[in-house]
Amino acid sequence: MLRLLAGLAVLLVACQPGGSTSSGFASGSAVAEVDGDELIGAFLELVTSDEFTANTEMSGVLSAGALQVGIEASGSLAGRDGTMTLKLNTVSDNLEFEATFVGEYGYARLLGGTWQRLPRAEVNTSGAQLDSFEFLTSADDLRYDGTATHDGLDVHVLTNTRPLDLDPEQGATGEVTRLRILVLADGTPVFLTYHMTVSINGPGGDKVVARGDIEQSFTDVGDPIVIEPPTDFVE
């Protein structure tokens, strides 16, 4: 998902002011004790597995100076494959499109439009899998940070040990900070929030810094989910 967001940051140079978001959760829940290192290991093993499946929703705002774009997305994950619907909202315009990734191909279209198929590496919305864990490279990226309550659930909190580098497309660079991942005692992800800072090239060649606060929820983790090419795609 981070590569998708970095790509969207480039769109800010053409957007008008708009949107805002908020996130947070209560802390101090009485959750059974766990071994933090073991929990991190179980979480990473789960989310990096080709068998990982989930339904997910994401929201946030990307800002570059006075320019803002609100983001709402929902979709499903199945290993490296995924599908989603994405809405971009500004004060003056709204854009909605769909994307699906299966195997080596990516399919994308404006809502109600015609599907286009490309090698997945050539599609700017490669984050359509809504995979916000791909930037985690090892257990050293995370630390166990106690317990919390989220939507009535007792959860455990994992946070980043240092800024995490992005490897976005379109020449942007940046990092993730304030990452907080809420998981169950077996490592199943429930919710996450993070702050992203991305440096992009403006229309005049100058550097533009875009920032975003993102939140994302996960449900139906481990349920059977099959991602297939769009049924109305025409060769």
CATH code for the domain of 161: 2.50.20
Looking at residue 167, its pLDDT comes to: 61
Neighbours of 180 (CB within 10 A): 18
In-domain check, residue 228: no
In-domain check, residue 224: no
In-domain check, residue 226: no
In-domain check, residue 232: no
- Nearest Cα residue to 208 out of 2, 6, 3, 1: 6
Query: Which residues constitute the domain of residue 178?
Result: 2-219
In-domain check, residue 233: no
Q: Quick one: residue 30, left, alpha or beta (phi over 0 = left, psi -120 to 50 = alpha)?
A: beta
In-domain check, residue 139: yes
In-domain check, residue 207: yes
Q: The whole model's pTM is what?
A: 0.82
In-domain check, residue 225: no
- Residue of 102 and 206 predicted with greater confidence: 102
Total count of domains within the chain: 1
- Tens of pLDDT, residues 215-231: 999 999 999 999 999 99
pLDDT at 8 over 60: no
Supply angle C-alpha 82, 213, 110, rounded to 5.
Answer: 40
- Tens of pLDDT, residues 82-134: 888 988 887 788 888 888 889 999 888 988 899 999 887 776 543 334 677 87
Q: How confident is residue 168, by pLDDT bands cut at 50, 70 and 90?
A: low
Supply angle C-alpha 30, 34, 40, rounded to 5.
Answer: 120
Q: Which of 60-64, 65-69, 189-193, 198-202 has the lowest mean pLDDT?
A: 198-202
